[in-house]
Amino acid sequence: MSSRKGGSARSATGTGRRGSPARRAMSVDLSDVPYEALVAETIRRCGDDPDREGLLKTPQRVKEAMQFLTQGYGMTPADAIGDALFEECHRNMVLVKDIEMYSLCEHHLLPFFGKAHVAYIPDGKILGLSKTARLVEMYSRRFQVQERLTEQIAQSIWENIRPQGVAVVIEAYHLCMMMRGVQKQNSKTITSAMRGAFLEDQRTREEFLRLTTSPHSPLS
Ligand code: ZN
């Protein structure tokens, strides 16, 4: 580790440069420090007093909120799907549209949220309808990038249901774009992931995109 002195001043955000205080801090073992103490220290470094009345219970609340928002790490697709896989000869597209989605971007730990649209063409098995939403929830309750979230949902259906094809579109707003940086309040990020028939058959793909691409806001 670098022992260079006189780097940038200590700050809540650090500089991210190699050898900077922020970089060195990441190698300090904090595993025995209670989560609440880490949150209190974060509040302090942002310039407020974690002991003032309004903030006293905040570290505990943040801990509980983060546990909830990252509970997807403890789950597998099998947990989300359970025994809700049914034999069925239906061979047409099944589309679950407008699934509410809330996640945290892994770059800033700020929310991104919007709607997911999931379609598949069964090949002997169908999935309980609510389970599609549970898969979306499982993968979004982690630190994510929207691109990977979209791929993971598609891949889990591809592997677990073995359909003829699967397609996922997510349209989302990112608070790290809206609240900071470029502050593009109205820009929506759209990602898609496709497997099987949706890749191979242009008409199937177009039907899916026509059914899902909507002019409305994910907020409405
Ligand atoms: Zn971000």
CATH assignment at residue 105: 3.30.1130.10
Cα(18) to centroid(ligand 1), Å: 21
Q: Where are the beta strands (DSSP E) in 175-212?
A: 189-196
CB 86 within 8 A of CB 150: no
pLDDT at 108 over 50: yes
DSSP 8-state assignment for residue 56: T
> Do residues 158 and 195 both lie within one domain?
yes
Residue 26 lies in a domain: no
Active site (annotated) includes residue 117: no
DSSP 8-state assignment for residue 198: H
Residue 129 lies in a domain: yes
Cβ within 8 Å of residue 109, ≥6 positions away = 143
From 64, 88, 106, 159, active-site residue? 106
> Higher-confidence residue: 181 or 35?
35
> Do residues 58 and 119 both lie within one domain?
no
Cβ within 8 Å of residue 174, ≥6 positions away = 105, 110, 111, 112, 146, 189
> Do residues 132 and 38 both lie within one domain?
no
For residue 101, give Cα distances in angstroms to 79, 98, 172. Answer: 18, 9, 8
> Do residues 101 and 43 both lie within one domain?
no
Cα(103) to centroid(ligand 1), Å: 11
Residue 218 lies in a domain: no
Residue 54 belongs to what domain range?
33-69
How confident is the prediction for the chain on average, in pLDDT? 87
Task: List b or e across 101-129, with b for residues whose CB sees 16 or more CB atoms inside 10 angstroms.
Answer: bebbbeebeebbbbbbbbbbbbbeebbee
Q: Summarize the confidence of residues 11-34 as an average pLDDT.
A: 69
For residue 24, what is the enclosing H or E element? helix 21-25
Q: Which of 166-180, 185-199, 204-218 is the least confident region?
A: 204-218
Cα(179) to centroid(ligand 1), Å: 10
Residue 108 lies in a domain: yes
CATH assignment at residue 60: 1.10.286.10
For the chain, how many structural domains are there in total?
2
From 146, 151, 152, 171, active-site residue? 146
Q: Where are the beta strands (DSSP E) in 9-154?
A: 85-87, 94-105, 111-121, 125-127, 143-144
> Do residues 40 and 86 both lie within one domain?
no
> Do residues 122 and 202 both lie within one domain?
yes
Active site (annotated) includes residue 90: no
> Do residues 88 and 166 both lie within one domain?
yes
> Do residues 92 and 192 both lie within one domain?
yes
Residue 194 lies in a domain: yes
- Give the residue from 46, 69, 92 where a domain finishes: 69
Residue 106 lies in a domain: yes
Pairing of strands 189-196, 165-174: antiparallel
> Do residues 167 and 102 both lie within one domain?
yes
- Give the residue from 44, 69, 94 where a domain finishes: 69
Rounded to an integer, what distance in angstroms lies between the CA atom of residue 181 and that of residue 132?
34
> Do residues 48 and 98 both lie within one domain?
no
pLDDT at 35 over 70: yes
Q: Summarize the confidence of residues 122-139 as an average pLDDT.
A: 93
Residue 220 lies in a domain: no
> Do residues 83 and 63 both lie within one domain?
no
> Do residues 151 and 199 both lie within one domain?
yes
Where residue 214 falls among pLDDT bands split at 50, 70, 90?
low
Residue 9 lies in a domain: no
- Give the residue from 25, 41, 69 where a domain finishes: 69
